[in-house]
Amino acid sequence: MVEMDLSEIPGDVIRAALCETIENKLKSNKYSVSITSASTAGENNFVGVVYRVAFNKNDETDKNAASKLILKVAPQNVARRSQFMSRICFLREIYMYNEVLPYFRTFEASKGVILEENGFTEYPKCYRTVDKEPSECVLLEDLSVRDLHIIDRYTEEITADHVRLVMKALSKLHALSFALKDQQPEKFKELSSDLSEVFIRRNDPYLREYFVKNTNSIVNVLSGEEDAHLVAKVKKLFEKHPMDIAADCLEVELTGPATVISHGDAWQNNTMFRYDKNGKPIEICLLDWQISRHSSPIIDIVYYMFCCTTKQLRDAHYDDFLKVYHESLSTHIQKLGSDPEKLFPKQMMQEHFRKFGKFGLLLATMLLPMLTTEQGNGVNLDDLAESIEKGETTDENIFISEKSRNKFNERLRDVVIDMVRLEYI
């Protein structure tokens, strides 16, 4: 990993925030800093630029004992900021770290839930945020210090144990909304009112075109008489514009009373795990709250399930995963003093899957090209944003290569098969 100088961090405001944070943690203004890239833009992250910062007091000789943090900053390229809605996304994440998650923690404590034992703690600590344009940033706990790691999608497979941890983490997050809305409806309304949809923008012409291009790939991966019934289902679904289908799945008015503050971007790159000595995942943290939303709770589930798991895993464990989620949700709602059978009984959950499960198919057309591509097939996001602004588009998904096409086709076809089998489409 190439080490960089502090001067390479963009903007005086961000550098000042970083230095002040370091000085506060060390209780000293005499220190040394080591900065490296923590993620590959265009391959592992898309909205922000992420740095790993290690720092020591100057009189400390053991460099292995350096303190660490993660600095996540908004891009400075004007086109990229515009096309990827960088400021809006960073303000959303700042809002979650400064307002929503702290209140959730306060609410749990008020109900006697011991946070370290069974509260919702599955996210990194946030040390500081900056919302000044164009210097938006968040300074976060470096989870690698606690030996948590992102799954390397090029060399590792998601297992049933990973998925169960994801289901439990999401269930606790969602349970907080259910209980808070039940007991403090005005507070829930206040928190959720600032969570209007960031990503699915019904009236964005570029995004509407992008959705059509992506969903066209669904029919392209289906062929032969054996897929005729799948093609019929897909064509019937897309008699309506795919962007409108996705937007409808997120409309609170169409969802009914069972809505939550959801993570919004629960895919593989936004989860980190700690493992026991036998390699079994035993702890999870959820990253990146930039498109958190107010929606049905199952939106998070189908996002993760149909973008990140294989059909083989779903065939073996899908019902079990949903059982783990609902049982954990119910348990946490009860701990918080509300009645899960009143707020989100199993029958209501199943109804939500039948109504909104199709959202998982729409997201799969966007995420699977990235998840199936070979290592090194990243994208220069500044160049991409500038080409979009110039109207230079292509019918081909830029993440699908000749090497990854077969894997992508197989994964997407598997999602369609499961969507039909489960009667989500």
Question: Chunked in runs of 10, what are the mean pLDDT values of the chain (425 residues)?
Answer: 86 96 94 89 72 89 77 93 92 98 97 88 98 97 96 93 98 98 98 94 90 91 91 96 97 95 96 97 97 98 98 98 98 97 98 98 95 81 78 74 92 98 97
Residue for token digits 């993660």?
70
| 138 in any annotated domain | no
Statement to judge: residues 70 and 207 lie in one domain: no
* DSSP 3-state of 158: coil
Statement to judge: residues 68 and 216 lie in one domain: no
**Residue 94 sits in a domain of what CATH number?**
3.90.1200
Statement to judge: residues 117 and 33 lie in one domain: no
Statement to judge: residues 162 and 294 lie in one domain: yes
User: So what's the pLDDT on residue 102?
Assistant: 98
* DSSP 3-state of 402: coil
| 235 in any annotated domain | yes
Statement to judge: residues 323 and 180 lie in one domain: yes
User: So what's the pLDDT on residue 267?
Assistant: 93
| 163 in any annotated domain | yes
Statement to judge: residues 217 and 286 lie in one domain: yes
User: So what's the pLDDT on residue 62?
Assistant: 60
Q: Residues 60, 170: contact at Cβ < 8 Å? A: no
| 130 in any annotated domain | no
pTM: 0.95
The HSE-up count of residue 20 (CA atoms within 13 Å, CB side) is 11
| 367 in any annotated domain | yes
Q: Which of 75, 97, 113 is the last residue of a domain?
A: 75
Q: Which domain, by its residues, includes 40?
A: 3-75
Statement to judge: residues 220 and 234 lie in one domain: yes
Q: What is the DSSP letter of 374?
A: P
The DSSP-derived string for 230-269 is: HHHHHHHHTTS-HHHHHHHHH-HHHH-S--EEE-S--SGG
| 141 in any annotated domain | no
| 131 in any annotated domain | no
Closest CA to 311 of 165, 218, 413: 413
Closest CA to 71 of 127, 31, 122: 127
Statement to judge: residues 67 and 87 lie in one domain: no
Statement to judge: residues 88 and 201 lie in one domain: yes
Statement to judge: residues 33 and 165 lie in one domain: no
| 142 in any annotated domain | no
Statement to judge: residues 273 and 386 lie in one domain: yes
* Rounded Cα distance, 283 and 272, in Å: 8
Instruction: Please name every residue paired with 36 in a beta bridge, in sequence order, or none if there are none.
Output: 3, 52
Statement to judge: residues 165 and 260 lie in one domain: yes
Q: Which of 41, 75, 109 is the last residue of a domain?
A: 75
**Domain count along the chain:** 2
The DSSP-derived string for 39-68 is: S-BTTTBSSSEEEEEEEEETT---GGG-EE
Q: Which of 41, 60, 75 is the last residue of a domain?
A: 75
